[in-house]
Structure 1
């Protein structure tokens, strides 16, 4: 074992050896470049395992200090006991099984807690290498074995560390209680006796966020309450939740919520004139009537929403604008906005972009409710849907036990089969209601929202029940999309022959909204419940 220091102008090269190595960083920071062209940052408190056969270069970007321990790969023979020898600069010991295949081992960061105990042991081992008395040598051997055992146990994924997890949970509680005070990752990591990188990794494993992102999220959630409940200036709110700069607070708030703090407060104080193409379902479910409703030259409007008195906005007319009677104060766009060139309206009104996937409709509803000041309605809306789904699932279990289902979208140019996990219908049919997809649905489209199938595949779709809807977008004349129904391949399907084919409304079923999902349930119960 040796103790090294690398200055900013120096590089230390360790060529390929038959030994594994451990580098324990005690000060400064730098980089370790491996022979596989990987680069790893080194900082105080880190322990890096370098497998045998690797050439590495260590560079110190500031004064870097570390211990280096060499772990010799020993061959164990029947008449040879495991032994540890310390000679010159190396510590040698037979390696455990998980280190016995160096060719496939990467550089691995290890943890040792508390680090003060780690460094104390290494200092004693380092000093003891010059001992000549065999009893002193034996004591150093025991010290190393004890240090190495602790290192292995703390980094064994099979061994849980409830104490470490408890300390991280304590750190999370500290953030929640002291969000309004200055907080740094270095301080948080030091408090739980972890390196910054280890703390960050483990923190993200528990919360799903990086530490500073989590701190900012806690601060921003509190700022939302202050914006709703007080008339405090933005500068004061920023200070009260831990942001030193009002402009930085405003930027982070908009990144987090999608709207500025001022607009967020305004939405919570008064009704807003909102334009939300293909998000009207969510807006209406929260009790807000949009000032316009989306229509399409081929598909028409979403009639199931009952917005007969709301003017239409045809998204297929890419140059259409607003007239003076229906200029919105706020615009909400889903991820299909580019298809309709809707980003051109950013200059008309503040615009909120919805990033959630359609299947995650609950998160969409919560985000929309948050920016429109309707957060108090979310749980009622979701709860009503879930109660309805549970009741329908029980009813369907009695009437459609062991029967299979599939859903088709039929146009003049293709037959589209929807999968069993994603898309407009799968979460309702197969997850919320527990219906059984035909095995061809699982085989062909399990990981897809939808796939196009030919007549040969259609003939293999022998589901007990078929739900179908017609898309007339590609039709050259009225009704062309229905020509499939005249083919023998269609007529031979078991569901067709048994009368178990159910046509449903296109716009109702081609939508992710909570209202449309509720109406899907109504349709399913009407047909097979």
Structure 2
């Protein structure tokens, strides 16, 4: 575990300020480096702007605005580094401290109580690392440092004394706020420090008992509060950091799995592989292979996500009643009818990799697990961005996600602006109609609601919110239909339950249908079933196009 200020400075009141400077880096400097090496004095770095990195004892410290780093004397520290670009310029105060020696008359008892033994000092000096601190309020911290900077060039001994006293006051406040024994430090702050420690030392042995003891909490209290803050148990969080790092190593290096496992903190290759499969859904070897070569993928109901990432599936889903997803334009890709429970792959169309959504059980698709490595998507359809990221991750297309999502969000923003002017005060609803039922889709969930009502800001009819509150869909009868007097009505027809062609359209001849305001005013719009009854960036983009065409 990291050392504390108390161990390094057992008598911090004997420290004085030797020098303070304010450094403003420029990306035009050679090699993007700022010289910062070991010295015989302790130093404090206070980052006021930009981002950078500092390497000490083989540990990389990420520097961000608001960070304070105490660097012990004689610690080998590599130069500060920072990225190119004005947004990454690193501005920081650097304070050099002089640590005074104890008086020869100091009591032996006092030294024994407050100072580490000679053996302890040896151990500490061999394993020192910079210590991350914090100071609140931040504005007060910067104000005092600016005063120290402006007033250090004085020849008057009395003013110099005032200068030292001002530093001592600031230094005392800094240490008190970061004293691990200080009960006034709230649990959230201490947990954040613990999380930072995990991120910086994920490849070292970490136990929950040590983490809890370090911030003076019981194991059960630490675990409970940690999960409240992160949504994960401590060791699950540690492993997620390790596994994300292992993904980078699998992508960028040819290191053996054994070496990668050791590098990120796992005890052996077999445990690492098992945890990786649980975490990523595929084995480390398959994950690496997808990043090195194109893959023949079969992803029924998920072709939207695969195609959005620039990967054409080897087969496409189809259904004898619903047909295929024409909106994807996969005209040259062979079809695979999922409704045929015993259908198998032809040898020429056998996939290297299979992706399945949560509907796989309905079609008995898990029978293909023996054919090729299989990845199961565990996100709800409404969280299509997470599905896209998972798909990109397992297919080796992670670099495309930002552009795909960004293009959709820009399209939605522009559409929302246009529709705001043309549909102000007008209500909207969406119905899926079959031969046996009418289904009304809700506002927050389902294929349609998040796009229509959230992304585009359309106004749902009050009964949409009332009947389908927090539901994906709700079945309604003719009496309820007569009450659904929305200004605009989008509909699609589901022919799955039709005994004869056209059975699903008989509703249009009913009196209740004819009495709807949208019907009378010619504001009913039929849309493509497969495009609207799907999740995915392409599907949702098609919905936006259809809505703009009739409402903008």
Query: Structure 1 length as normaliser, TM-score?
Result: 0.69
Q: Distance in 2 between matches of 1:182 and 1:505?
A: 55
Q: Distance in 2 between matches of 1:436 and 1:481?
A: 27
3-state SS in 2 of match to 1:459: helix
Equivalent residue in structure 2 for 1:350, among 361, 369, 373: 373
Query: Paired residue for 2:5?
Result: none
Query: Paired residue for 2:470?
Result: 447
Task: Determine if the alignment matches structure 1 residue 392 to structure 2 residue 412.
Answer: no
Task: Determine if the alignment matches structure 1 residue 486 to structure 2 residue 521.
Answer: no
- Per-residue CA deviation, residues 190-218 of structure 1 (Å, 9 max, x unaligned), is 11111111111111111111100000000
Q: Distance in 1 between matches of 2:458 and 2:210?
A: 52
Query: Paired residue for 2:70?
Result: none
Query: Paired residue for 2:402?
Result: 379
Equivalent residue in structure 2 for 1:211, among 211, 231, 234: 234
3-state SS in 1 of match to 2:430: strand
3-state SS in 1 of match to 2:317: strand
Q: How does 1:112-127 map to 2 (within 5 A)?
A: none
Query: Paired residue for 2:520?
Result: 497
Query: Paired residue for 1:282?
Result: 305
Equivalent residue in structure 2 for 1:328, among 351, 372, 375: 351
Query: Structure 2 length as normaliser, TM-score?
Result: 0.66
Q: Distance in 2 between matches of 1:223 and 1:457?
A: 55
Equivalent pairs, count: 370
Q: Distance in 1 between matches of 2:348 and 2:423?
A: 50
Q: CA RMSD in A?
A: 1.0
Q: Distance in 2 between matches of 1:167 and 1:408?
A: 52
Equivalent residue in structure 2 for 1:242, among 262, 265, 268: 265
- Unpaired segments ≥5 residues, structure 1: 1-159
Equivalent residue in structure 1 for 2:541, among 504, 508, 518: 518
Q: Distance in 1 between matches of 2:403 and 2:195?
A: 30
Query: Paired residue for 1:421?
Result: 444
Query: Paired residue for 1:145?
Result: none
Q: Distance in 2 between matches of 1:341 and 1:352?
A: 15
Equivalent residue in structure 1 for 2:386, among 349, 358, 363: 363
Task: Determine if the alignment matches structure 1 residue 171 to structure 2 residue 194.
Answer: yes
3-state SS in 1 of match to 2:348: coil
Runs of 4+ in 1 over 2 A off after TM superposition: 160-164
Query: Paired residue for 1:190?
Result: 213
- Per-residue CA deviation, residues 480-506 of structure 1 (Å, 9 max, x unaligned), is 111111111101100000110000000
- Per-residue CA deviation, residues 415-465 of structure 1 (Å, 9 max, x unaligned), is 111111110000000110111110111111112111111100000000000
Q: How does 1:400-411 map to 2 (within 5 A)?
A: 400-411=423-434
Q: Distance in 2 between matches of 1:168 and 1:314?
A: 52
Query: Paired residue for 2:493?
Result: 470
- Cα–Cα, structure 1 residues 319 and 420, in superposed 2: closer, same or farther, change >3 Å? same
3-state SS in 2 of match to 1:281: helix
Query: Paired residue for 2:146?
Result: none
Q: Distance in 2 between matches of 1:254 and 1:370?
A: 13
Q: Distance in 1 between matches of 2:193 and 2:389?
A: 29
Query: Paired residue for 1:101?
Result: none
Q: Distance in 2 between matches of 1:491 and 1:165?
A: 60
3-state SS in 2 of match to 1:325: helix
Query: Paired residue for 1:259?
Result: 282
- Unpaired segments ≥5 residues, structure 2: 1-182
Query: Paired residue for 1:308?
Result: 331
- Per-residue CA deviation, residues 336-367 of structure 1 (Å, 9 max, x unaligned), is 00100101000000000111000000000000
Q: Distance in 1 between matches of 2:474 and 2:190?
A: 49
Task: Determine if the alignment matches structure 1 residue 202 to structure 2 residue 243.
Answer: no
Q: Distance in 1 between matches of 2:470 and 2:255?
A: 49
3-state SS in 2 of match to 1:409: strand
3-state SS in 2 of match to 1:382: helix
Q: Distance in 2 between matches of 1:229 and 1:421?
A: 40
3-state SS in 2 of match to 1:262: helix
Q: Distance in 1 between matches of 2:369 and 2:538?
A: 28
3-state SS in 2 of match to 1:194: coil
Q: Distance in 1 between matches of 2:503 and 2:295?
A: 42
3-state SS in 2 of match to 1:310: coil
Equivalent residue in structure 1 for 2:318, among 289, 292, 295: 295
Q: Distance in 2 between matches of 1:175 and 1:420?
A: 40
3-state SS in 1 of match to 2:347: coil
